[in-house]
Structure 1
Amino acid sequence: MRRRTFIRTVSAAVAFSGAMWHDAVASAAGAGVSPYGPLGAPDVNGMALPAGFTSRVVARSGRVVGGTLWHPAPDGGACFADGSGWIYVSNSEVPLVGGTSAIKFRADGSIDRAYRILSGTNLNCAGGATPWGTWLSCEEIFRGKVYETDPYGNRGAQQRPEMGKFKHEAAACDPDHRVVYLTEDESDGCFYRFTPTTWGDLSSGRLDVLCGLGGDNVEWRPVPDATPGVFDTQTRNQVSAARRFGGGEGCHYAAGICYFTAKGDRKVWAYDTARQTVTAVYEGGGTLDGVDNITGRPSGDLYVAEDGGNMEINIITPDRVVAPVMRLDGQAKSEITGPAFSPDGTRLYFSSQRGTSGETAGTGGITYEVTGPFRR
């Protein structure tokens, strides 16, 4: 029942989210007035929010939450329906012991318990949720792998090497075309598409890389060796026509468009599956800097977290308005990670990876919840 509920939620989002963007990708978004109004003064948690929104701290690295020690350097995350409650999963971007943890929430928002769903992996950065209710946790290391995990904690994690061995960042499932898009965090990184042999089973399939045809036009070409050895040609260098992106980060699919961010380019890109084009929908220079993790809502709104900048999450609306919806003060040496909405869309979860301490792999990470009248 839990996974059927999750599939219905994802299907509804795919049907409506981003529908208005098809005619908007030709022009880039710019600073404007937020649909939620201006940010107010920082609250007790040092967070500036619009009127009607509130924040709370749900976990801190190195401290116990729900009976489990919360991991250091929290990164990518997602929410999953669980009966009348929900689960938030979060990666740990530290070497050798990274992995993923989960927090189970009751219907009233109180914490039921927390637990590990992946351990002993390396620099788990971002990832993505699947329509069948699993979490893809990605390693951001040389020859990094994708691990498919169970947010409910009932089954062990599985390596998915056919999805490529490279410096993985995020993943976004496209149930319309039955593929998974993947970003690569390299200064000359690529954008990939994995087509499983059987949809819902990621143990085998074909990895393609996006290639330029001139202008915004692109096509997919197969990667000859998705699982290269240490001394073999790296994945991103196997197809000479591959389109390059400067530091691929977050990835989100909705209604025929896959949005992904490139921190080095300072751009939010949109791959239009029907038109076979890649267009920048945000090109920097506004209130949004250090583009990183990205998520979206059925309303068509995108939410982009900053790596650095002034520690904001910005909204990009379908009418191309960019505006902050949250800002953290006093955490300039950190980054915002893992934005994800609860299944009912009223709560937004995310982390400050290094918090006020600024320690790369220390105990400074803070995981937050913001509650308010988010547009559905």
Structure 2
Amino acid sequence: MERRTFLRTAVIGTSTAAFGGSLWRGAALADPARPGPGPYGTLRPADANGIALPGGFTSRVVARSGQKVGSTPYTWHDAPDGGACYADGTGWIYVSNAEVTPGGAGALRFAPTGAITGAYRILSDTRQNCAGGRKPWNTWLSCEEVSRGYVHEADPWGTAPAVRRDAMGRFKHEAAAADPVREAVYLTEDESNGCLYRFLPTTWGDLSSGRLQVLTAGAAVSGSFGWADVPDPGGSPTVTRDQVPGAKRFDGGEGCHYADDKVWFTTKGDNRVWQLNLTSDTYELAYDDSLVSGGAPLTGVDNVTGSSSGDLFVAEDGGTMDICVITPAGTVAPFLRIDGQSSSEITGPAFSPDGSRLYFSSQRGTSGSSSGGITYEVTGPFRT
């Protein structure tokens, strides 16, 4: 994605960030979240990898752009971005996009001990693969963040060939999150006047055909929402976001996460985290840095994932290079910080299947260049 040239610093009012535990319970927002002590305690001084972590946690580097992965012959890709983990017998796989052109995606395979046992390419010859999303049938959706970009479905094991999914629309794709209850895939759009979409496959588990819809709502930051079909998902000559009157506009859609009948997604232009309550068809702000008095703990919001405890982990593009945790109890706090890499951004946060390890990348590392990406693993006592 394009590097943000500035972060919002204005303070509006004296309210704190709006992310109460009531959002998880589906009730009306009553007690906005506030910056405070995180569930893991304060950050300790940065370790040898330049990662500041709470006590009990450790980090390691698992891959570097342009270098062979461990003892494998595979060279890790430039500009690592969105990622996800998959169970692989008693081990697991971490997949990662390459936000360059030509782009694609690669994968790391881990043994139960955490040792790297393989690395390989799962998608090639695509453009600016930014974020994406894990699908319940164990595939990876890799999204092209270019005008009229495509979604590609790839096999994390690298056995089946990747497939372009034209029915999911052509726009500046960012992230995707699957909802197995409603059999829908939610899609963010990285435009300053972008939209939030959902794709309803004709047959769940088969993305070759279906209906692309756009979220419709008023201009307020909370209220009810609906969905309307996009007449021409191909987006030509009229782009998808301009085809439906009443489509809700969002300022730079980024990460997207589904859990427990809720969708959380981030918008980088206004440093917000939004929540859709899919049981009540309502939306509201879950976090807004401009509502925090004093220094906001989370700025430059970007990729987002969740843990089994219900915590959200939000990565920063810019800010102070943090991954922040937003708890169901209504606290926003840094979980980790990368030192000495202010010209980079944090991408691809994803938990191992057992929830004990968090993977993520610094897209441009210490060099500030796409060829300097670093992919990390953090291990420790994550809440369950």
Structures share fold, TM-score greater than 0.5: yes
Equivalent residue, structure 2, for 1:310: 320
Distance (whole Å) between structure 2 residues aligned to residue 333 and residue 27 of structure 1: 36
Equivalent residue for 1:20?
Answer: 24
One-letter identity of the residue aligned with 1:348: L
Equivalent residue, structure 2, for 1:339: 349
* 1:84 pairs with 2:87: no
Superposed CA deviations along residues 93-134 of structure 1, whole A, max 9, x for unmatched, are 002x10000000011000001000000100000000000000
Question: Does the CA contact (< 8 Å) of 2:33 and 2:331 recur in 1?
Answer: yes
CA RMSD of aligned residues (A): 1.4
CA 347–151 in structure 1, closer or farther in 2 if over 3 Å, else same = same
Aligned AA (2:317): D
Tell me by how many angstroms 1:370 deviates: 0.2
Unaligned runs of 5+ residues in structure 1 are 1-16
Contact 1:30–1:282, Cα closer than 8 Å, also in 2:
no
CA contact (8 A) 2:22 2:29 kept: no
C-alpha separation between the residues in 2 aligned to 1:368 and 1:142? 30
Q: Which residue in 1 is equivalent to 2:42?
A: 38
Contact kept? 2:308, 2:355, Cα under 8 Å: no
Deviation at 1:32, TM superposition (A): 1.1
1:23 and 1:82 map into 2 onto residues whose CA distance is 37
Asked if the contact 1:212/1:243 (under 8 Å) is kept, the reply is yes
**Residue type at the aligned position of 1:290:** G
Question: Does 1:217 find its partner at 2:208?
Answer: no
SS of equivalent residue, structure 2 residue 178: strand
1:159 aligns with 2:164: yes
Given the alignment of the two structures, is residue 75 of structure 1 paired with residue 75 of structure 2, yes or no?
Answer: no
How far apart in 1 are the matches of 2:154 and 2:349? Answer: 19
Distance 2:41 2:181 in 1: 35
SS in 2 for 1:70: coil
Structure 2 runs not aligned, ≥5 long: 1-20
**Residue 252 of structure 1: aligned partner:** 257
Q: How many residues end up aligned between the 2 structures?
A: 355
Q: What is the CA deviation profile of residues 134-158 of structure 1, one whole-angstrom value per residue up to 9, with x for unaligned ones?
A: 0000000010000000001110000
> Residues 118-267 of structure 1 correspond to what in structure 2 (within 5 A)?
118-213=123-218, 215=220, 216-229=223-236, 232-267=237-272
**Alpha carbons of 1:24 and 1:34: their partners in 2 closer, same or farther (altered >3 Å)?**
farther
The superposition leaves residues 21-49 of structure 1 with CA deviations (integer Å, 9 ceiling, x where unpaired) of: 42365654321111100000000001100
Deviation at 1:240, TM superposition (A): 2.0
Q: CA deviation at 1:214?
A: 6.4
Q: Structure 1 residues 273, 328: CA separation in 2 closer, same or farther (over 3 Å shift)?
A: same
Matched AA of 2:235: P
Aligned match of 1:12: none
Partner of 1:62: 66
Sequence identity (%): 61
- Quote the residue 1:3 is aligned against: none
Q: Which residue of 1 aligns with 2:4?
A: none
**What is the alpha-carbon distance in structure 1 between the residues aligned to residue 136 and residue 320 of structure 2?**
33
Within 1, Cα distance between the matches of 2:63 and 2:28? 38
TM-score scaled by length of structure 1: 0.92
The residue type equivalent to 1:51 in the other structure is G
Q: How far apart, in 2, do the equivalents of 1:45 and 1:188 lie?
A: 38
- 1:307-348, Cα deviation, whole Å (9 max, x unpaired): 010000000001110011100000000000000000000000
- The one of 281, 286, 290 aligned to 1:281: 286
For the Cα contact (< 8 Å) 2:23–2:29, is it kept in 1?
no
TM-score by length of 2: 0.90
Q: Distance in 1 between matches of 2:28 and 2:59?
A: 32
